[in-house]
Amino acid sequence: MFYVGLDIHAKHIAICVLNETGQFVHRSQVRTIDQMMRILEGLPDRFEVCYEASCGYGHFHDLLNDVDKEKVMSDVQAWLDARIPSAAPAGT
């Protein structure tokens, strides 16, 4: 299993991939959605994607759901809470 973080901007997409032990597997910055998809589709195992739910997030959610080997989360805090209980903000 891999864990993918995306930081989606108007002019570029930052990609960070970690393995199950938290080691970096891949880190890059691409300019197009097609480049991003080639990297994700080339991962050798199942993966989960996490990115901030901002303007246009629905398009990326739908696009990423078409890849057969991943689960997409657009709520970063919920994703962190599910994996790292201590990540919850203070007072919650």
Query: Any residues with CB less than 8 A from the CB of 51 and at least 6 apart, and which?
Result: 5, 6, 7, 8, 57, 60, 73, 74, 76
Structural domain boundaries, residue 15:
2-87
Q: Does 67 map to a domain?
A: yes
**Residue 26's CATH number:** 3.30.420.40
pTM, 2 dp: 0.71
Specify the pLDDT at position 47: 87
End-to-end Cα separation, the chain, in angstroms: 29
pLDDT in tens, 22-57: 899 999 999 998 999 899 989 988 888 888 766 666
Q: Does 92 map to a domain?
A: no
Number of domains in the chain: 1
Q: Does 45 map to a domain?
A: yes
